[in-house]
Amino acid sequence: MPDRPLDGVRVLDLTNVLAGPYCTYHLALLGAEVLKIEMPERGDLARQLGPDPALNRRRLGASFLAQNAGKKSVELDLKEPGGRAVFTELVEHADVLVENYRAGVMDRLGLGWDHLRTLNPGLVYCAITGFGQSGPLSQAPAYDQIIQGLSGMMSVTGTPSTAPQRVGFPVADTVGGLSAALAVVAALAGGRGAFLDVSMLEASMSAMGWAVSNYVVSGVEPQPMGDQNATAAPSGTFETADGPLNIAANRQEQFETLCRLVDRPGLLTDPRFAEREARKQHRQALNEALNEALRARPATEWERILPAAGVPAARILTVPQAVESPQLAARDFFTELRSPAGGPLRVSGSGVLVDGEQLAPVSPPPALGEHNEELPELLARWRGGPTHGALPSARESRRTSAPRPA
């Protein structure tokens, strides 16, 4: 892909672990030049996280490798005068800075927004925290599980007998990172400097959609329903001859087609199932009848029959099965790179094709400090000003039009 939407944009990445690195990974996929600033000898904590102890000891943990392809790594100690001097010069020529320290840490270092915008009025400064820069929890430590609990997410995950349960991947970190990336891109498009205060808690609650809106709009408190969909029936996980199958017959015509294909026309004339709200009220009886019918065939056969007739249905895959999906392969979702640890490394894309092409990282994840020796050359290039068309011209407009604080 010769041109990407963020070609020419320069990003300073001071983030650790997941939410911040996930944000800057997407900026890198979109074409930004991402310079990861890491503490000497330690680096991003994610370098020590993952299922392979040998990789963790080499500061190349799987958690780091998954979110940092396409970036450069430079070691700088921001508490030391020399490191601070180099960092502030980088800030003067950057477009974006992303950090996910606890609120106030950068201010205590003398490198907060109020100071950095005097160096670069056009800087887009994105701070990702668990709870935001203000409020009674702003100084509280936050990890994904803490946010899942405080957002109400865990209370609606699982069944009535098993809830609360944690979602099986760090969804609060992921949603926080995506929200931050969206805000950064919006600020760049707006053409002026900005301070972006991203709260993982608020981003997570925004992403919960109906679970929150059903309560704030209609006063209905959501309850854990396991694999069932509160908005429709039949919609959930069903039994087949050889394993589970998801079906989402949310529309009336889909329900009618489903009844015909499983050879249960009597369900259509049963007053308990005649229309949407009645089906929701008699969900258990409907599910039992459908399970009995669906057990006549294996899941793979139903997966072929039902979607062909317009009824959404699919098997429940394991992660290895999903990774090897022909659908993902057809869209080049995974990219194979050379791991800094040696051997091949597969990393994921963004889920977006640009002009028909997958946004693949342009280089492997960096070893800690891999680009230290290139820093003088990079600084010289950044001092030279824009090297690309539209977006760097927006950079210059941000520099000249954003007012300096009094």
The Cα 40–Cα 179 span in angstroms is 29
Please state whether beta strands 96-99 and 124-129 pair in parallel, antiparallel, or not at all (unpaired): parallel
Q: Is 173 a catalytic residue?
A: yes
For 221, 271, 285, 312, 348, the CA distances from 210, given in Å and listed in that order, are: 11, 28, 25, 20, 29
Catalytically annotated residue among 7, 13, 173, 197: 173
Nearest to 316 by CA among 406, 233, 238: 238
In the chain, the largest separation of any two C-alpha atoms, in whole Å, equals 79
What positions carry a catalytic annotation?
173
